[in-house]
A and B are shown apart, each in its own frame.
Chain A
Amino acid sequence: MKTMQPRPLSTLSLIVLHEARILVRDRTLLLVCGVLALMVGYGLFVGLAQATLRDRMVAQVLKHQQETQTANSGMLQSVLAGQTALIPFSNPANPAAMAGTLSGRYATMPNAPLAALAIGQSDMMPNYYRITYLSKVQFMYDTEIENPWNLLSGHFDFAFVIVFVLPLLVTTLGYNLLSAEREHGTLRMLCSQPLSIATLMAGKVVVRMLALLAIVIPVPLVVLLLIRPEARGAEQLVLVLSWSALVAAYTLFWFAVAALVNTVGLSSSTNALIMVALWTILVLILPVTMNLAVGLVSPAPSRTELANRTRVATAESLREYEDLYSADYRYASDPEALLVKNERIEVPSRMRAFFLAKQKVDERIEPLLKRFDQQLLQQQKLVDRLSLLSPAILINEALTSIAGTDSHRFLAFKDQTEAFHQEWRQYFSPRIQESRAMTMRDLSSLPRWHWIEMPASEINWSIWWRAMLMLALASGLGGLALSSSSRGSIE
């Protein structure tokens, strides 16, 4: 057995141990940590459920796509062999039918590996689009089904626990760091010891902060690593690290606020009031006011205008192809006319008109849709700048971008989808114009969708500067608290 060497315990660690003992004895810490653990668990459950749902949807659409493809190739084979009765609207040899009702590809955006950490915008924005010859306005605004009341309430996800609840728990643990000692008359006694108030406070904060962080950081990471294998990559490790740094910095910020408030020397009740007032302003009021301000400074183009323009564009393109639309339609009674001859097929003029008209509609609405996207980008830039005013916005934006549920990623998805939609049309356009029948080879060379993930460096940069900023803010406040505590009175 080793003999215990007497170790010189620094004052700080003595305070830490002492505080820990008190906090455990009076059950405050256990209660707060219990509440936090419950909320973390529930928030994670909600996030995981949402991520699983979205995974399942992507898998489902891809399966559906595979099935349609198999069915189409079977049908095309029999049509080319002259075995199937030909139906004008669903003849797979007809490129116009293949571009629209018969085929269509799904543009899908996979969940980011850490998606379960924050739901963000993912309940408002679709993670797949069905691409056909239809115009953009017809498919771009379809979203996932969700009760609007629930969208309004918001989700109880893990990001909510961090952004909203964590500071409140910090307040509960920290509003009377010094004031309670003062009110109990023990501060005077403590100050008669060789101990500075700054050390006392630092010790108190360290215990409380470690207790909260011990739940809020490792628990979700362990759960995530266990349940979602895709979260185990090297790139994710960096993200996880930055995520931990962010959460720690945000917690530190609120403890620094608590310490600073405590050094002023007011009563516990007043401290609690000040903390809650600060929380209300930084977490509740500033973000909603910013939301309003962002809308005012950089207003979205009118949705009514979009509807009007769509109508005008549709009317114009219908008129433009009027001759094609109203041509004789003998194919219904003469299906033989739909047969493939020398790799050519007569594309019914009406179907050709469908294709061309939708294409025209998009060309005409394009500038307005571009303005919507521009607008969203502008707004997002404004939010990035305004986030400097409220740590809650700062951390919320960072958490959603780690989870890949922020509006930057959705805009990227939208952009890529538009490009793919364009590619899809360009593939079919010459075939329809030149009446070329679809071949088996064509069927396997249809444009394919590839999602290009946003560069990790961009995400990392946007997160680290936020984490650093938060840390700087927290240390600034903490430093202020420590320096003013050394000057403060103990009365």
Chain B
Amino acid sequence: MFAIIAAKDLRVLTRDGRLLWAGGLVVILMLVALAAGWNRQVQLNSERSAGQALDHDAWLHQGYRHPHDAAEQGMHVFKPEPSLAVFDPGIGPFVGSTVWLQAHRQSEVKFRPAQDATGLQRFGELSPAWLLQVLLPLLIIVIGFNSVSDERERGTLRHLLSLGAPARSLLYGKAAALASCVGILIAPVGLAFAVLIVARLPAGERVDVVYRIAWLAAGYGLYLGFFVFLTLAVSALARSCRTALVLLLGFWVAATLIAPRTASEATNLLYPAPSRLDFDNQLAHDVADAGRKAWSTHFGARTPWDPSVPLSKWGAALKVDDEAGYGALDENFGRLWDTFERQQRAQEWVGLVAPVVALRGFSMGLAGTDFSQHRDFSTAAEAQRRKIQNIVSEDLIDHADRLGNAHFTYKAGPELWASVPQFKYELPPVSFALAHHWASLALLAVMFCLSVALAQYALSRPLMR
């Protein structure tokens, strides 16, 4: 019975113009989004790896120079683009990809692509993830809103039930038909994309990406499944097709368009981030404070660069100054980043009414384009900066400090530059993403189960009204 219902519904749906037009549009957009993402990624990755190599090369071949000047020039490190960023670029456009490792200060990731964008940026970015998150639920609603109510209005539901068809078969048959419609549209594209991505990767990274894709499929499956069962439930509960449609569209607008914005505004109020000025002032204050303490314990000087600290201690002073600041940097940046993560965690609860919020976090996490992975990169870049600072200061202590006033005439050579290890950043494995986002997945599973329960209740009620 289940199979017969599914086959019949599927036939009806595929004959309907709605699936053809709306589905066709979604597939075309999906292909465009994938092609654009692919193109962007190939370009970015080759640019970034070339940039990274060039930078390191320049560092090695900078000739003879005072080590602190070398540190002032510093180097740039580039965040590798995760391969699944084609699917979901996540916060990528808003955080940038390059960190300048320079002396004295921790840099943030700079050069955000979104700063080169026009006002259109605020309408969103066409990515496969956006299509699956926003447009596919709409498609499910549009093709499924009358799947039960229409049968009732025509009286065929009465016939069906009088033949002894169990409500459960009816529900799962209709669900299977709706799901296969969506499947027909996205599965071939998705599969081809997955194979292409995995085939292009070096063997070592393949397993990780396959896991990521599988988890993503699970997350999106639960999300779209939620919409399938919700649509059926509302279609069965509503008095007419029109009411079902209006209710479902209302939910879609509220849950996918309005809720994410409202949620981010609300969590901003709940856990406010400091303004740039407040943050910079606090950081400068803390760094200076820590510096003063360190200077007075090590050199008995009241202020940094006090005349009482001669240039014969300048390398040592630089080291003390740098190290004193590390704690303040860690604390201030840590606090800011914790605030961001807290804001995001608070938003996860909004997933209970608007599953798209939970799915977005999960999708970015698994694609490797969320904030936790961005933070991981920023931390690694800062560690590299400190490595450079320490090597440089040690060298100054060993060689330049002995020269007294002629401190700045000292020049180090290639062997010092070569002692700085090359920056190699590996994206964290899938387990890292899962550890951060299991709650979102659990939430999606709960929402899915709730929608199934609601649909079962809706269809098991006497339908003969």
Chain A residues engaging chain B, CB cutoff 8 angstroms: 42, 46, 53, 56-57, 60-61, 64, 85-90, 120-121, 124-126, 141-156, 160, 164-165, 168, 172, 176, 268-269, 272-273, 276-277, 280, 284-285, 287-292, 294-296, 300, 302-308, 310-312, 314-315, 318-319, 322, 325-330, 332-333, 335, 350, 372, 375-376, 379-380, 383, 392-393, 396-397, 400, 406-407
Contacts and interface: CB of A to CB of B under 8 A. Distances in A.
A318 B336 CA distance: 34
Contacts of B32: 289, 292
A291 B47 contact: no
Given A143-B112, A288-B124, A330-B405, A383 B118 contact: yes
Contact of A350 (B245, B339, B408): B408
B465 interface: no
Give me the 6 closest cross-chain CB pairs, A-B, nearest first: A287-B123, A148-B91, A156-B261, A303-B111, A148-B94, A300-B116
Contacts of A290: 120
B125 to A, nearest CB: 6
Contact of A147 (B54, B242, B273): B273
A387 B48 CA distance: 34
B135 interface: yes
A327 to B, nearest CB: 7
Contacts of A172: 246
A291 B73 contact: no
A308 B405 contact: no
A273 B311 contact: no
Contacts of A280: 135, 138
Interface string B77-116: 0100000000000110111111010000000001111111
B55 to A, nearest CB: 6
B207 interface: no
Contact of A328 (B242, B306, B406, B411): B406
Contact of B405 (A160, A305, A326, A329): A329
12 contacts: A60-B275, A141-B112, A152-B94, A269-B241, A288-B124, A291-B117, A294-B120, A300-B116, A315-B73, A379-B117, A406-B119, A407-B118
B265 A143 contact: no
A397 to B, nearest CB: 6
Q: Max chain A CB contacts within 10 Å: which of B48, B126, B311?
A: B126
A10 to B, nearest CB: 32
A142 B110 CA distance: 8
B314 A152 contact: no
B437 interface: no
B409 to A, nearest CB: 5
Contacts of A276: 138, 142, 249
A288 B126 contact: yes
B67 to A, nearest CB: 11
B94 A304 contact: no
B51 interface: yes
B155 interface: no
A466 to B, nearest CB: 13
A273 B242 CA distance: 10
Give the size category of B's interface with A: 35 or more
B36 A311 contact: no
Contacts of A330: 405
Contact of B123 (A142, A291, A306): A291
Nearest to B96: A303
Nearest to A291: B120
B409 A328 contact: yes
Contact of A294 (B118, B343, B404, B408): B118
Contact of B307 (A86, A160, A284): A86
B405 A307 contact: no
Contact of A151 (B114, B135, B409): B114
Nearest to A289: B126
Given A53-B275, A149-B344, A291 B126 contact: yes
Interface string B281-312: 10000000000000000000001011101110
A126 B113 contact: no
Given A165-B258, A308-B55, A149 B264 contact: yes
Contact of B264 (A144, A147, A302): A147
Contacts of A168: 253
A143 B22 contact: no
B260 interface: yes
A35 to B, nearest CB: 10
Given A141-B110, A380-B118, A284 B305 contact: no
Contacts of A90: 305
Contact of B120 (A287, A296, A311): A287
Nearest to A176: B242
A152 B122 CA distance: 8
A376 B257 contact: no
Interface string B48-59: 101100110010
Given A145-B275, A273-B245, A329 B54 contact: no
B90 A311 contact: no
B376 interface: no
B428 interface: no
A75 to B, nearest CB: 13
A397 B121 CA distance: 12
A318 B74 CA distance: 12
Nearest to A382: B118
A298 B266 CA distance: 36
Given A326-B410, A329-B311, A330-B405, 13 more contacts: A57-B277, A64-B277, A141-B111, A141-B115, A145-B275, A149-B340, A150-B264, A153-B260, A155-B265, A156-B258, A172-B246, A291-B118, A308-B54
Contacts of B274: 145
B64 to A, nearest CB: 9
A294 B126 CA distance: 12
Contact of A329 (B245, B276, B407): B407
A150 B122 CA distance: 11
A304 B142 contact: no
A296 B55 contact: no
Contact of B276 (A86, A142, A176, A304): A142
A332 to B, nearest CB: 5
B344 A332 contact: no
Contact of A318 (B72, B120, B265, B409): B72
Given A147-B273, A318-B65, A303 B307 contact: no
A312 B75 CA distance: 10
A62 B29 CA distance: 48
A54 B314 CA distance: 41
A263 B72 CA distance: 71
A325 B262 CA distance: 54
Contact of A304 (B98, B258, B406, B408): B98
Contacts of A120: 119, 122
A322 B336 CA distance: 39
A238 to B, nearest CB: 22
Nearest to B275: A57
Contact of A308 (B51, B96, B119, B279): B51
